[in-house]
């Protein structure tokens, strides 16, 4: 903001200097120019030499043109005149000796135009300052506030609408981060409550198991019937503990991510076009051959942004875990669905691991030192399920093929 204010101040100084310089030049300029009657006299003389008929009405500074008629008063006149001998004839040409004075309104017109331009420029600069620079300064602080965890304050939309989509997107991001943090807190609270409850519930059957096992070890049940009854009780309590553990595992295995969808109908070419534009340049820099097969455009049911996210996740996996030679996108139709297959060369994943690649937090043996969370393809499956589609993978001749099944409108 301060830099832009300095720019405005500099613009004011420059315009003031220009106006001052122009006025100084106009002040020092000569007030008069050469009289025009001399030019007109030369023109009249030339026309008379050419035998043309000339009248004074055609020349603003000529009063009259008289040919010598032998009278004695030919050389006397109240007006200024010159005598010219042309083609053997003598002419008296009377004129008015008025120098052309420069237009006295010119400085006013020039200053008015320059002043108007100056005011217009200042208006534009102050408009930019108020509606673009100042709001952008506020918006630029938001990522820092979000990074600090300040998520409760809504983002105020700028009235000028220059940053309407940006502020709307940042506010959406703020809301999503706030909701995500709240979900994490709720889940952590739920998990802690569950663990405390289960640990309390497990204590009772665990104490009974310890009691029966200690009694058996000390021989307090010499009767075989009593020993069998104690063993049955231990088995029963173990089953109870196992049930609690199974409940805990089931709770912890529930989906940890939730997604919002804006399912509608859209053209497949819109999504593939954005994917092609982005990865064409990126993969050319990485020197990876990237091909998108010809396809017939069609309507798809689902969320176009989510489908683009799915394809991006698959291609990013292909970049990370492929051999860097080629990645391709192919299309096919099956019943009322459009299948989109992303293939990459250099697949080293074992066939036995293929069934697990869509599990959460699972990473294959081919990941090596590549960083990752094991959630990419899991998220893809959740997104496709949310759009009424599907996703599956296969290994074919060293190619890793991940196919997205998109539903067409009924």
SS (H, E, C) 333-402: EECCEEEEEEEEECCCCCHHHHHHCCCCCCCCCCCCCCCCCCCHHHHHHHHHHHCCCEEEEEEECCEEEE
Higher pLDDT pick, 141 / 243: 243
The model's confidence at residue 393, banded by pLDDT at 50, 70 and 90, is very high
3-state class (DSSP) for residue 75: helix
The string of DSSP codes covering 161-198 is -TTHHHHHHHHHHHHHHHHHHHHHHHHHHHHHHHHHHH
Residue whose pair of structure tokens reads 């640990």 in the numeric block: 199
**Cα(55)–Cα(112) distance, rounded to whole angstroms?**
41
**CATH code reported for the domain at 149-254:** 1.10.287
**Cα(263)–Cα(332) distance, rounded to whole angstroms?**
22
**Cα(376)–Cα(360) distance, rounded to whole angstroms?**
8
> In this predicted model, what pLDDT tens digit does every residue of 156-172 receive, in sequence order?
655 556 666 666 777 77
Q: Are strands 326-334 and 289-292 parallel, antiparallel or unpaired?
A: parallel
Beta carbons of 322 and 314 less than 8 angstroms apart = no
Structure tokens that stand for 31 in this block = 């007030």
Provide the pLDDT for residue 155.
60
The CA angle 123-135-146, to the nearest 5 degrees, is 170
- 264-407 belongs to CATH 3.30.565.10: yes
| Residue 100 pLDDT exceeds 60 | no
* Every domain of the chain and the residues it spans: 2-29+102-140, 37-95, 149-254, 264-407
**Cα(333)–Cα(340) distance, rounded to whole angstroms?**
9
| Residue 138 pLDDT exceeds 70 | no
Cβ neighbours of residue 112 closer than 8 Å, sequence gap 6 or more:
none
**Cα(168)–Cα(154) distance, rounded to whole angstroms?**
10
Provide the pLDDT for residue 389.
95
Report percent pLDDT > 70 for the chain. 86
Give the closest residue to 341 by CA, choosing from 399, 297, 388, 407: 399
Beta carbons of 304 and 271 less than 8 angstroms apart = yes
The pTM for the full model equals 0.50
Provide the pLDDT for residue 133.
77
Least confident span in 143-152, 184-193, 265-274: 143-152
| For range 90-105, the mean pLDDT | 71
| For range 118-127, the mean pLDDT | 86
| For range 332-349, the mean pLDDT | 93
List alpha helices for 218-267, DSSP H. 224-252
By the 10 Å C-beta count (0-12 exposed, 13-18 middle, 19+ buried), 203 is classed as exposed
Between the CA of residue 407 and those of 242, 261, 262, what are the distances in Å?
A: 42, 15, 15
**Cα(181)–Cα(370) distance, rounded to whole angstroms?**
28
Provide the pLDDT for residue 149.
63
| Residue 239 pLDDT exceeds 70 | yes
Beta carbons of 341 and 330 less than 8 angstroms apart = yes
Structure tokens that stand for 275 in this block = 């994917």
Beta carbons of 80 and 61 less than 8 angstroms apart = no
**Cα(213)–Cα(16) distance, rounded to whole angstroms?**
101
The string of DSSP codes covering 97-125 is ----BPPTTHHHHHHHHHHHHHHHHHHHH
Beta carbons of 403 and 341 less than 8 angstroms apart = yes
Provide the pLDDT for residue 407.
95
């Amino acid at each position: 903001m301060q830099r832009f204010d300095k720019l405005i101040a500099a613009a004011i100084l420059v315009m003031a200097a220009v106006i001052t310089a122009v006025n100084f030049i106009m002040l020092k300029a000569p007030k008069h120019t050469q009289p025009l009657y001399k030019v007109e006299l030369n023109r009249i003389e030339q026309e008379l030499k050419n035998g043309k008929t000339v009248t004074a009405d055609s020349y603003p500074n000529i009063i009259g043109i008289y040919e010598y008629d032998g009278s004695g008063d030919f050389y006397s006149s109240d007006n200024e005149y010159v005598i010219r001998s042309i083609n053997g004839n003598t002419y008296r040409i009377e004129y008015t000796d008025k120098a052309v004075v420069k237009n006295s309104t010119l400085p006013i017109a020039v200053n008015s135009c320059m002043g108007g331009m100056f005011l217009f420029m200042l208006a534009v600069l102050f408009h930019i300052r108020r509606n673009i620079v100042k709001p952008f300064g506020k918006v630029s602080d938001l990522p820092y506030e979000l990074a600090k965890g300040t998520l409760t304050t809504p983002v105020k939309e700028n009235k000028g609408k220059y940053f309407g989509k940006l502020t709307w997107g940042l506010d959406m991001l703020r809301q999503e981060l706030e909701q995500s943090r709240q979900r994490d807190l709720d889940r952590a609270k739920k998990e802690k409550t569950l663990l405390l409850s289960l640990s309390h519930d497990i204590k009772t059957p665990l104490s009974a198991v310890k009691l029966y096992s200690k009694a058996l070890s000390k021989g307090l049940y010499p009767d075989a019937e009593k020993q069998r009854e104690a063993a049955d009780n231990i088995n029963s309590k173990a089953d109870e503990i196992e049930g609690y553990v199974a409940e805990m595992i089931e709770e912890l295995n529930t989906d940890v991510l939730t997604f919002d969808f804006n399912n509608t109908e859209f053209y497949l070419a819109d999504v593939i076009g954005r994917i092609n534009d982005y990865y064409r340049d990126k993969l050319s820099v990485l020197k990876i051959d990237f091909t998108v097969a010809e396809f017939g455009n069609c309507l798809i049911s689902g969320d176009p942004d989510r489908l683009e996210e799915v394809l991006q996740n698959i291609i990013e996996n292909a970049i990370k875990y492929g051999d860097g030679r080629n990645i391709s996108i192919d299309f096919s139709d099956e019943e009322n669905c459009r299948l989109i297959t992303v293939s990459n060369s250099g697949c080293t994943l074992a066939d036995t691991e293929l069934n697990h690649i869509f599990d959460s937090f699972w990473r294959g043996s081919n990941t090596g030192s590549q960083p990752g969370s094991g959630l990419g393809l899991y998220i893809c499956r959740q997104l496709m399920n949310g759009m009424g589609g599907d996703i599956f993978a296969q290994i074919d001749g060293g190619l890793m093929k991940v196919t997205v099944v998109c539903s067409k409108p009924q």
